């Protein structure tokens, strides 16, 4: 963001270019892996030069950061909306969560794969993982609480706890373990899809929701 001076913020054209770069980066990361996703390659993918990219982002880390945040936010927004609309039943909310996640994956194949790729492929030069680095970003006082809240929705634990508390879910459920398991199951979709183009994430989402429902619901 070169144009921070003017309160109007980045121009329309600047935002468009950044979008294009982010999209190109995601594509390249998915195609060749983060390890091989050099700035030159990304530049070529969007018909530009590495210089052009570094004009819009101060360095590569900033580009990756912007990409991750962007995908996270879009994903979180979609999931938030879906969960909110699902009403108060824990059952319905869990289903909405899972289905929305996989609908997002289905609708944004590249982005979802890029995110998975980065989640484990990215390491800061000091060896820090994406999670840690992201926590840093979020702790940045520049970030709004709104942004922080937005991303929190991806945490399943509270949702599960409420379900257990109000009796929708069986009391023997370990919210923490189940949250980890389901998150893993959700993320597995992108990897699976990457090596099996015939994979259908939305169908998988429905199956996963059924699966989770059977596993969680309290039996009379």
Partner DNA sequence: TATGAATGAGCTTTCATTCAT
Partner DNA sequence: TATGAATGAAAGCTCATTCAT
Question: Three-state DSSP class for 129?
Answer: strand
Residue corresponding to tokens 């009403």: 87
What x-and-dash track marks residues 21-40 binding DNA by CB under 7 A? Answer: ---------------xxxxx
* Nearest distance from C-beta of residue 128 to DNA, angstroms: 14
Question: Three-state DSSP class for 68?
Answer: helix
Q: Which does 103 bind (CB under 5 to 8 A by kind): DNA, a second copy, none?
A: none
Q: Which two tokens stand for residue 12?
A: 């329309």
Q: Which of residues 94-153 bind a second copy (CB under 8 A)?
A: 116-117, 119-123, 125-127, 129, 131-132
Distances (CA, A) of 132 to 12, 65, 114, 162, 166: 32, 12, 18, 28, 34
What x-and-dash track marks residues 159-188 binding a second copy by CB under 8 A? Answer: -----------x-xxx--xx-xxxxxxxxx
Sequence-distant (6+) residues with CB within 8 A of 198 are none
CB 191 within 8 Å of CB 120: no
State the number of binding residues for DNA (CB under 7 A): 27
Nearer to a second copy, 77 or 123 (CB): 123
Q: Which residues pair with 129 in a beta bridge?
A: 123
Nearer to a second copy, 52 or 77 (CB): 52
Sequence-distant (6+) residues with CB within 8 A of 115 are 68, 71, 72, 75, 190
* Nearest distance from C-beta of residue 186 to a second copy, angstroms: 7
* Nearest distance from C-beta of residue 127 to a second copy, angstroms: 4
181 CB-contact burial (10 Å; exposed 0-12 / middle 13-18 / buried 19+): middle
Q: Which does 132 bind (CB under 5 to 8 A by kind): DNA, a second copy, none?
A: a second copy
Applying CB under 8 A, the residues found at the interface with a second copy are: 31-36, 116-117, 119-123, 125-127, 129, 131-132, 170, 172-174, 177-178, 180-189, 191-192, 194-195, 203-204, 207-208, 210-212, 214-216, 219
Applying CB under 7 A, the residues found at the interface with DNA are: 2-3, 5, 11, 13-14, 17, 36-41, 43, 47-52, 54-56, 58-61
């Amino acid at each position: 963001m070169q144009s921070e001076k003017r309160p109007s913020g980045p121009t329309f054209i600047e935002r468009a270019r950044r979008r294009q770069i982010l999209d190109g980066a995601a594509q390249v990361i998915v195609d060749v892996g983060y390890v091989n996703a050099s700035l030159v390659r990304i530049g070529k993918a969007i018909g530009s030069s590495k210089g052009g990219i570094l004009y819009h982002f101060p360095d590569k880390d900033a580009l990756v950061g912007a990409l991750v945040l962007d995908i996270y936010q879009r994903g979180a927004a979609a999931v938030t909306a879906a969960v909110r609309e699902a009403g108060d039943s824990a059952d319905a909310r869990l289903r909405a969560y899972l289905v929305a996640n996989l609908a997002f994956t289905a609708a944004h194949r590249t982005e979802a794969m890029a995110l998975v790729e980065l989640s484990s492929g990215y390491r800061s030069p000091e060896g820090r993982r994406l999670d840690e680095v992201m926590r840093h970003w979020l702790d940045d006082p520049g970030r709004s609480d709104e942004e922080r809240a937005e991303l929190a929705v991806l945490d399943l634990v509270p949702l599960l706890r409420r379900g257990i508390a109000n009796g929708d879910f069986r009391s023997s459920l370990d919210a923490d373990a189940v949250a980890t398991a389901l998150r893993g199951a959700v993320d597995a979709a992108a990897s699976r899809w990457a090596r099996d183009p015939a994979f259908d994430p939305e169908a998988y989402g429905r199956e996963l929701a059924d699966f989770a429902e059977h596993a969680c619901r309290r039996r009379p």
